[in-house]
């Protein structure tokens, strides 16, 4: 076969194989046998091997995965991938409809057409097509920027490499990559046979598969996708979301078959209620229903907050409960020395993952719930994430159960534990307790503290066990040759870790304060401190009375800070950290005239409709004000939304000025001028 004949045949085979891929994977309506498909694919592979320059960009041979990548490049989304506000009950779903109508100026009796879509528990992606050809695929990331995973997404057979029909000149297809439950079970069975750790749930497996540096591993996982919308688009338009979904179907994208258009919020509630009961019948994981306004014009009019669109909400299914048995109750030790009882349970599958441990918080909580070793208990996931023991089943006790007794000494180092009056927890006072040192080191490296990528519990344990590190500051004296011999630590990994440690030096005073692990000093207290002090040395030199004058820094926090820096080994800590090159200062306050909100104290209560409470509080602080959680004589304004209760009454009693959300936003607009 000469070159021209090969070029023609490659084109024929590529088009025909892509058509059969669409029929098989998207429509589930194959026209040929697997043997016939394989024979065509082998012919194409032979021709492409003979004429590699004739391989087309949409060739199905690309789906097996290309060369491994060293790193994912960051890509900025041309249209942000916003997150959704959540509704946790039918009542909240109805309130979403009421709130939307008020914002749109509609009468409550008027109905809005909605589209209801199952909320797939996977990984959101954006796939960019130019002239119908797949040119880039990215993760959602932080909504503004994601990672380029083009090679990996090309291995997902339900994602078309070339769109069908007459596609727009440019279209970004948004979808959720997921792992079907049967495939998840197959992967875990194979991993178990090889003695490898099992994936916790299909979502984790899907997310890990999509972000593999080697596309061949992604290809072996048999991922799937459901497409639910578009980002940037040129050369096509639609008036409703239903039309948008129909366009995706025509272009060959896989759209969930269970999507329904409804004529009112009551019908949307019924759809959610129906799938709450039926979700177990699906062969993929779903954790709720997304309810979207169908009209694009109404979507535009409704707009979005900084958090997400006002025209959509994610209804979350109620937490799934399961029964299991408490085999033991162990006690863990945290960085602050806190002793925490943890239930060790018979493994049970709950709402997408296998659960075998649940934190019981403190000895009083165990006594209040009367949880005993050997009890049958009901567990669920609090907030769909954290396993929680709801209650024991005393009717199933047989007399062999044992009451839990909190140890009087630290289970790790044997030091006598202390329980300060007024606190619900016992603590190990030994600062050199191995458990406390490990917990502090991993806390220091955590994302919200110094954000040292690659320094997890396994690496931290080895650093401590080998005497390479005693305190977090010792990290900054490590060299590649010191850590290259650690388990699973090659030369590249060692260099990456040293680079991450070096980068953490510039995180700034607020995150440094949080990283130190001072008792009672969380992120909020750290933020308050850097608003009043410009360096760690200034904070270390402050006395308790001075610290207590700072808003939200009460006697307990102030005493803890003073005690921390009074310890002999911390007396010169600011200077030691500075000598290591760590930034111990806060940013300079912005220059210019003070904002109209400077010095004012706000309290937010009730439901806000145009932003979340956290966003409102952050806005106040950006403009020089202060947001607190309680109303007092020092409060300047209370911003009250629907559902405001005791805080609103307290404001009226004290004569504090009360603002609506619109009045607050008008004040903010004036302050920003």
Can you tell me the distance from the alpha carbon of 195 to that of 454, in angstroms, rounded to the nearest whole number?
Answer: 24
| From 8, 101, 119, 381, the catalytic residue | 119
Non-local CB neighbours of 445 within 8 Å, separated by 6+ positions: 451, 452, 455, 456, 460, 472, 475, 504
| Element holding 284 (H helix, E strand) | none
Decide if 247 contacts 129 (C-beta within 8 A): no
Under a CB-based contact definition with an 8 Å cutoff, are residues 516 and 560 in contact? no
**What angle, 0 to 180 degrees and rounded to 10, lies between the N-to-C axes of helices 34-50 and 3-21?**
140
With CA atoms as reference, report the closest residue to 454 among 422, 495, 416: 495
How are the residues of the chain apportioned to helix, strand and coil, as percentages rounded to the nearest 5? 40, 20, 40
What angle, rounded to 10 degrees, do the helices at 90-104 and 265-278 form? 150
Q: Is 119 a catalytic residue?
A: yes
Burial class (CB in 10 A: 0-12, 13-18, 19+), 552: middle
Give the chain's radius of gyration (CA, Å).
Answer: 29
d(CA 262, CA 274): 14
CB-count burial class (<10 Å; 0-12, 13-18, 19+) for 7: middle
Q: Which of 551, 558, 526 is nearest to 628 (CA)?
A: 551
Are the C-beta atoms of 268 and 92 separated by less than 8 Å? no
List the alpha helices (DSSP H) in 403-535.
434-445, 457-465, 480-483, 491-503, 509-515, 523-530
The pair of structure tokens assigned to 188 is 């875990």
Strands 286-293 and 260-262: unpaired
Residues in contact with 451: Cβ distance below 8 Å, sequence separation at least 6, in sequence order: 445, 504, 507, 511
If phi > 0 it is left, if psi is from -120 to 50 it is alpha, else beta; for residue 246 that is alpha
Phi, psi dihedral angles at 219 (to 5 degrees): -60, -30
CB 661 within 8 A of CB 608: yes
3-class SS of residue 167: coil
Could you say which DSSP state residue 26 is in? I
**What is the residue whose two structure tokens read 């140890």?**
407
Rounded Cα–Cα distance for residues 185 and 173 (Å): 29
- β-pairing, 286-293 vs 114-120, is antiparallel
Q: At what angle do helices 181-193 and 202-210 cross, to 10 degrees?
A: 80
Residue 14 burial (CB < 10 Å; 0-12/13-18/19+)?
A: buried
Judged by phi (left if over 0) then psi (alpha if -120 to 50, else beta), residue 24 lies in alpha
Please state, in angstroms and as integers, the Cα–Cα distance from residue 466 to each residue in 182, 433, 459, 665, following that order.
43, 16, 11, 56
What does residue 320 show for φ and ψ, rounded to 5 degrees?
A: -85, 130
Q: Is 365 helix (H, G, I), strand (E, B) or coil?
A: helix
| Beta-ladder partners of 345 | 326
> Which sequence positions are flagged as catalytic?
119
């Amino acid at each position: 076969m000469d070159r021209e004949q090969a070029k023609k045949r490659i084109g024929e085979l590529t088009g025909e194989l892509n058509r059969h891929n669409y029929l098989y994977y998207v429509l589930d309506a194959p026209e040929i046998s697997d043997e016939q498909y394989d024979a065509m694919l082998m012919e194409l592979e032979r021709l492409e091997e003979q004429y590699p320059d004739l391989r087309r960009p949409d060739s199905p041979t690309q789906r097996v995965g290309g060369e491994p990548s060293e790193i994912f490049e960051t890509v900025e989304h041309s249209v942000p991938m916003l997150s959704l506000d959540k509704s946790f009950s039918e009542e909240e779903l109805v309130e979403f409809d009421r709130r939307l109508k008020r914002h749109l100026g509609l009468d409550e009796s008027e109905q809005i057409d909605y589209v209801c879509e199952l909320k797939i528990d996977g990984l959101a992606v954006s796939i960019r097509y130019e002239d119908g050809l797949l040119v880039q695929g990215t993760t959602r990331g932080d909504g503004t920027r994601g990672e380029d995973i083009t090679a990996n997404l090309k291995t997902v057979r339900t994602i078309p490499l070339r769109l069908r029909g007459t596609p727009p000149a440019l279209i970004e297809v948004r979808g959720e990559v997921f792992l079907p439950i049967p495939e998840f079970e197959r992967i875990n069975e194979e991993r178990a046979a090889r003695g490898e750790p099992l994936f916790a749930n299909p979502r984790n497996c899907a997310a890990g598969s999509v972000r593999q540096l080697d596309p061949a591993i992604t290809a072996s996982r048999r991922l799937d996708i459901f497409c639910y919308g578009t980002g940037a688009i040129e050369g096509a338009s639609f008036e409703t979301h239903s039309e948008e979904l129909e366009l995706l179907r025509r272009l060959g994208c896989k759209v969930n078959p269970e999507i329904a258009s409804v004529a009112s919020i009551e019908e949307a509630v019924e759809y959610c209620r129906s799938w709450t009961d039926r979700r177990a019948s699906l062969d993929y994981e779903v954790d709720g229903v997304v309810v979207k306004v169908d009209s694009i014009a109404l979507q535009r009019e409704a707009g979005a907050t900084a958090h997400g669109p006002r025209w959509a909400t994610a209804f979350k299914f109620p937490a799934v409960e399961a029964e299991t048995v408490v085999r033991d109750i162990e006690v863990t030790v945290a960085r602050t020395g806190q002793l925490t009882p943890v239930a060790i349970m018979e493994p049970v599958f709950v709402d997408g993952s296998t659960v075998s441990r649940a934190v019981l918080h403190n000895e009083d909580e165990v006594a209040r719930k009367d949880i005993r070793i050997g009890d049958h208990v009901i567990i669920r996931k609090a907030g769909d994430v954290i396993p929680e023991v709801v209650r024991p089943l005393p009717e199933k006790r047989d007399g062999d159960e044992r009451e839990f007794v909190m140890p009087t000494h630290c289970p790790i180092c044997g030091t006598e534990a202390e329980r300060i009056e007024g606190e619900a927890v016992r603590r190990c006072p030994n600062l050199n307790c191995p458990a406390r040192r490990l917990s502090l080191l991993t806390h220091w490296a955590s994302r919200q503290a110094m954000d040292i990528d690659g320094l997890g519990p396994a690496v931290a344990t080895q650093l401590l066990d080998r005497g390479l590190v005693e305190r977090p500051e010792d990290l900054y004296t490590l060299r590649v040759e010191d850590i290259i011999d650690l388990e699973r630590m090659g030369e590249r990994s060692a260099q990456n870790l040293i680079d991450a440690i070096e980068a953490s030096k510039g995180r700034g005073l607020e995150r440094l304060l949080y990283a130190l692990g001072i008792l009672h000093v969380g992120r909020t207290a750290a933020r308050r401190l850097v608003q009043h002090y410009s360096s760690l040395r200034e904070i270390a030199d402050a006395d308790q009375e001075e610290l207590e004058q700072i808003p939200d820094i009460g006697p307990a926090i102030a005493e803890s800070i003073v005690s921390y820096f009074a310890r002999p080994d911390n007396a010169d800590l600011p200077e030691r950290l500075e000598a290591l090159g760590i930034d111990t200062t806060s940013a300079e306050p912005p220059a210019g005239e003070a904002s109209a909100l400077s010095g004012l104290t706000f309290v937010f209560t009730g439901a806000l409709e145009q932003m979340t409470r956290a966003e409102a509080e952050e806005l106040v602080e950006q403009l020089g004000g202060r947001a607190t959680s309680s109303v007092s004589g020092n409060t300047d304004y209370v911003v009250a939304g629907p559902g405001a209760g005791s805080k609103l009454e307290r404001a009226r009693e004290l004569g504090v000025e009360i603002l609506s959300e619109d009045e607050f936003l008008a004040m903010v607009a004036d302050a920003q001028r």
